[in-house]
């Protein structure tokens, strides 16, 4: 006859235990836009129209826009490359050229050092034939 015995012990120390939801790492910068969609309204073929998105650094550290990417070659963007200090604002200018008739539904993706590091903005409108 063989008797096998197992003994389990748990340590009471919980120094290496992580909380169930680990906090996000933050850079201290945070971006907030006044609008997320710019409406160009109705445009004629070949018409060029600019829209401006204004953003604010609502964080505690300088905000830097790394890149602003458009979804088509019909849109060009301009933005400030210098850091935006906490509490200050910046702008992104989106210039759209109406090359084809129909509904305008384009995206502008903003990449930055903010806690919300990638934001998609929308461009909309309509181009008449």
Query: Which domains are delineated in the chain?
Result: 31-127 (2.60.40.10)
Per-residue pLDDT tens digits for 80-94: 999 999 999 999 999
Per-residue pLDDT tens digits for 26-50: 569 999 999 999 999 999 999 999 9
Per-residue pLDDT tens digits for 1-26: 555 444 444 444 444 444 454 444 55
What is the rounded distance in angstroms from the CA atom of residue 106 to the CA atom of residue 68?
Answer: 13
What is the rounded distance in angstroms from the CA atom of residue 121 to the CA atom of residue 100?
Answer: 21
Nearest partner of 94 among 72, 127, 126, judged by Cα: 72
Give the residue carrying structure tokens 């992104």: 92
Give the residue carrying structure tokens 């120094």: 15
Look at residue 39 and give its three-state secondary structure.
strand
Percent of the chain with pLDDT over 70: 79
């Amino acid at each position: 006859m063989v008797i096998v015995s197992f003994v389990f012990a748990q340590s009471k120390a919980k120094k290496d235990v992580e909380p169930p939801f680990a906090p996000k790492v933050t850079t201290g910068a945070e971006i907030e836009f006044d609008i997320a969609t710019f409406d160009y309204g109705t445009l004629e073929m070949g018409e060029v129209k600019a829209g401006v998105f204004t953003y604010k650094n609502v964080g505690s550290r300088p905000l830097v826009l790394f890149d602003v990417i458009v979804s088509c070659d019909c849109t060009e963007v301009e933005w400030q490359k210098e850091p935006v200090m906490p509490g200050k604002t910046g702008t992104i200018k989106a210039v759209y050229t109406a090359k084809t008739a129909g509904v305008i539904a384009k995206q502008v993706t903003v990449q930055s050092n903010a806690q919300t590091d990638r934001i998609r903005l929308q461009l909309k409108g309509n181009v008449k034939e």
